[in-house]
Amino acid sequence: MALSAKWRRNKKTLKKFNIFRVFSKTKEKSAPRTFRIKNPNAKKPVKRFRYRIEKIPEGNLKEPPPLIDVLEDDNEISIVAEFAGFSKESLRISIKDQKLTLSARASERKYRKSLNLPKRVIPDTACTTYKNGVLEIRLKKALEEETIDKIAG
C-alpha cells in the first residue's frame, strides 16, 4: 500500500519525532534522574462516606392498588385488571346493570373495587381469562331500547 507524498516520512519529519534524540539531550545536560517506585503493598488512604439510611417502619408499607383499564368497542366492553399475587380461585366478579365489582382475597391481603361501566351490559355473556396476574373480562353491550315519548290518543 503506497502512501501519498504528503504523508511519507522523510528525513525532516523523522528528526522532529525522533524520541531517542530527546533522551540523548537530557544526558548531555547531566540532569539528575529521579525515579519513583511505588510500593504495591502500601495502603491507599480510604475515604469514608457516611450515608444516612432511614428505616421504614414495616407497619406503614402498603402495596399500590391494582391497575384497571376499561376499554369500549362497538359491541363489547373489555376490562383489564392487574391482580399480581392472587390466585385464580380467590377472584370474585359480580356484574349488575352498569356496575362491576371485583374482589380478591389472599392469605394476608384483601382487595375490593366497584366500577361504573360506560354502557349497560349483559352479565351472562361474561368471558374471563386470567394469566400471569392479569385478569381480562369481556362483556357484550346490551341493546338500548329507545323510549317513546308520544302521548297516546
| Confidence at residue 146, expressed as pLDDT on a 0 to 100 scale | 57
Beta-carbon count within 10 A of 81 CB? 23
Give the lowest-confidence range in 42-51, 98-107, 143-152. Answer: 143-152
CATH of 65-140, one of 2.40.50.100, 2.60.40.790, 1.20.1600.10, 2.60.40.420: 2.60.40.790
Question: In this predicted structure, what is the pLDDT of residue 108?
Answer: 81
Higher-scoring residue by pLDDT: 1, 57: 57
Task: Using the CB atoms, write b or e for 121-136: b if 16+ within 10 Å.
Answer: beeeeeeeebeeeebe
pLDDT at 42: 67
Q: Please say whether the beta carbons of 136 and 82 come within 8 A.
A: no
- The domain locations on the chain are 65-140
Q: What is the pLDDT of residues 72-81, one digit of tens each?
A: 998 999 999 9
Instruction: Give yes or no for residue 89 having a pLDDT over 80.
Output: yes
The three three-digit cell numbers of residue 36, written as one number: 519513583
Query: Which of the four pLDDT bands, split at 50, 70 and 90, describes residue 38?
Result: low
Percentage above 90 pLDDT, the chain: 27
| Residue appearing with cell numbers 376499561 | 70
